[in-house]
Amino acid sequence: MIVQEIKCPFIKIKVKNHKKYKAKLLKLIKKTINQKLEYPYSVVSKSDWYVEDNSKKLYLTTFAEMLKPEYNQIFDYFSSNKIDMQNVWFHIYEKNDVYAWHTHPRCNFTNIYFLDLPNKKDKTLIKDMYGKEYNFDVEEGDLITFPAFVVHKSPKTTTNKTVIVFNSSYSYEHKD
């Protein structure tokens, strides 16, 4: 087997409308059905991960509306004109919650929007195939996008934080 490594993108976008939408999104999330997630080595106090009916995800329309201006930047980077958003969910981490190292299968990219991040130490950690951890500078209001096969985790939180996560694939469709 011959392996030739190539660089992978890690995209960070400062969401322009974050301040305008933050309170509204948090309010809608609070009204959305949620439950505690518990896996080996992972605990998230509130999440709608198990809600399959998108019409019950009350924040979804507002979230998509807020991100519309940011899509153009991502489309330009990937030379695409179509996004397929798969599995949108929120996680509310309370103090001492943690999510173990993992990847996101069956998609091209993982996307994490830091809706409420009082302490930057609680940001997502990322590591490469060799175990080297990367310390990307992210803060509240940032949307990060990276290949879904990249291993990442949420460290044990020091304060409450809220993220909206979605998987995505980007493509180009020629319109005649």
Q: Count structural domains, the chain.
A: 1
53 in a structural domain: yes
127 in a structural domain: yes
How much is the pLDDT for 128? 85
- Report residue 100's pLDDT band, with 50, 70 and 90 as the boundaries: very high
Average pLDDT of the residues in 38-56: 95
CA 169, chain centre distance (Å): 13
Judged by phi (left if over 0) then psi (alpha if -120 to 50, else beta), residue 160 lies in beta
Q: What is the 3-state secondary structure (H, E, C) of the chain?
A: CCCCCCCCCCEEEECCCHHHHHHHHHHHHHHCCCEEEEECCEEEEEECCCCCCHHHCCCHHHHHHHHHHHHHHHHHHHCCCEEEEEEEEEEEECCCCEEEEECCCCCCEEEEEEEECCCHHHCCEEECCCCCEECCCCCCCEEEEEECCCEEEECCCCCCEEEEEEEEEEECCCCC
pTM of the model: 0.93
13 in a structural domain: no
37 in a structural domain: yes
Edge-first strand listing for the sheet containing 99-102: 99-102, 151-154, 125-127, 133-134
What CATH number is given to the structural domain containing 135?
2.60.120.620
What's the chain's length in residues? 176
Range scoring the smallest mean pLDDT among 102-106, 117-121, 160-164, 166-170: 166-170
How much is the pLDDT for 176? 58
Average pLDDT of the residues in 2-22: 92
124 vs 74 pLDDT, higher one: 124
Judged by phi (left if over 0) then psi (alpha if -120 to 50, else beta), residue 89 lies in beta
pLDDT one-digit tens code per residue, 75-87: 888 888 778 888 9
74 in a structural domain: yes
125 in a structural domain: yes
How much is the pLDDT for 137? 92
How much of the chain exceeds pLDDT 90, in percent?
76
136 in a structural domain: yes
For residue 108, what are the domain limits?
A: 22-169
176 in a structural domain: no
174 vs 123 pLDDT, higher one: 123
